[in-house]
Each structure stands twice: as C-alpha cells, then as structure tokens.
Amino acid sequence: MAGCARGVPRRAKHVKVPRKEERELRCFRKRRYRSQGDALDAAMVAGVERHRKAYLCPHCRLWHLTTATS
C-alpha cells in the first residue's frame, strides 16, 4: 500500500482550521479590488503579475491577490 508502513495507514497530520474571526482578519489585512481585472492590473503595475493570481473573497465579496503556486 502506498503511504503505509507495514500495512498500517498513516495518520493525517492535524491541521488547524482557522476560526471565522481569523479568516475575516486575513481578509481585512489584504487590499480589495472591485474586479478580477483591477486586481490583476494592480499586480501588473507592481511587476509581479506572473507571481500572483486573483480570487474572489467569500467574506467581503471583493477580489484579493494571492501568491500563485506552480
């Protein structure tokens, strides 16, 4: 079996799920953009468009930039 030692499944590492207040605080600290295009334009002006992507925030319903992972 893949991911198992001696046929015993590995336990998933405990991942702390952020509370509502923590998620809202993350949103509060980020810049907000009215549209995806505005967010991507801001990344382009800053010269980091290849390293950022825009996403729609479920808390404020506006757009934020995040680091793009390959």
Mean pLDDT along residues 11-36? 84
Q: Is 65 exposed, middle or buried (0-12, 13-18, 19+ CB in 10 A)?
A: buried
The residues, any chain, with a CB within 8 Å of residue 39's CB and separated by 6 or more, are: 33, 54, 63, 64, 65
What's residue 3's pLDDT? Answer: 53
More confident residue, 31 or 26: 31
Q: Is this prediction's pTM over 0.95?
A: no
Q: What percent of the chain has pLDDT over 90?
A: 41
